[in-house]
Amino acid sequence: MRENCAAWEVLYLLGVIGDTKVNMKVGKPNTPELMRKELRTLALFVELYCRGHHEERNPFILKGFDVDEVVGKQVEVCGECAKLLSHAWMKRKICPMDPKPACKNCPSHCYQTTYRTRMQEVMRYSGKQMVLRGRLDYLLKLL
């Protein structure tokens, strides 16, 4: 299973990870469709969190991305959440893993510690809100 992951092999050969210490679930192939779906999910989760925690929100704009096209609607977040979402989108865009595992199962965490902690908080809150609102279709991505 791990042998199919080229990025895992590179990390192993460089000595960053050892053979017995890695518990990585192999994910789906890193396709443009998967990237679009994950970027959309990130935007919707961060927007939901921002609506529940912050008052002032502005349209989210990120150079190099047509946010409205990717998400299918205009995303409105505060400045703090815009920084988090920008960081997440850029890290997802340059992810070297193929097949791509879920970030929590990845052997190489590319998020800065503060952003990773914040994103875990966002996912925890938004996931619960999705269940409470009956939006299980977004949560199926996590299975």
- Average pLDDT in the chain: 79
Cα separation, 106 vs 38, whole angstroms: 15
How far apart CA 112 and CA 118 sit, in angstroms, is: 10
* Interacting residues of 47 by C-beta distance below 8 A, sequence separation 6+: 60, 75, 76, 77, 81
Mean pLDDT check: name the lowest of 8-17, 56-65, 114-123, 125-134: 8-17
Locate 85 and state its tokens.
């979402």
Specify the 3-state DSSP secondary structure of 101: coil
Please name the residue ranges forming H helices in 65-112: 67-71, 79-93
Q: Is the sign of the CA dihedral 12, 88, 115, 134 positive or negative?
A: negative
What CA–CA distance (Å, rounded) separates 136 from 115? Answer: 25
The conformation of residue 28, written as its DSSP 8-state character, comes to B
Nearest to 89, CA basis, from 110, 57, 62: 62
Q: Residue 51: pLDDT above 90?
A: yes
Can you tell me which residue has the tokens 């199919």? 4
Q: Where are the domains of the chain?
A: 2-142
pLDDT one-digit tens code per residue, 94-137: 888 877 777 778 888 888 889 999 999 999 999 888 877 776 66
User: What percentage of the chain reaches a pLDDT higher than 90?
Assistant: 41
Query: Sign (positive/negative) of CA torsion 115, 116, 119, 120?
Result: negative
Question: Is residue 70's pLDDT more than 80?
Answer: yes
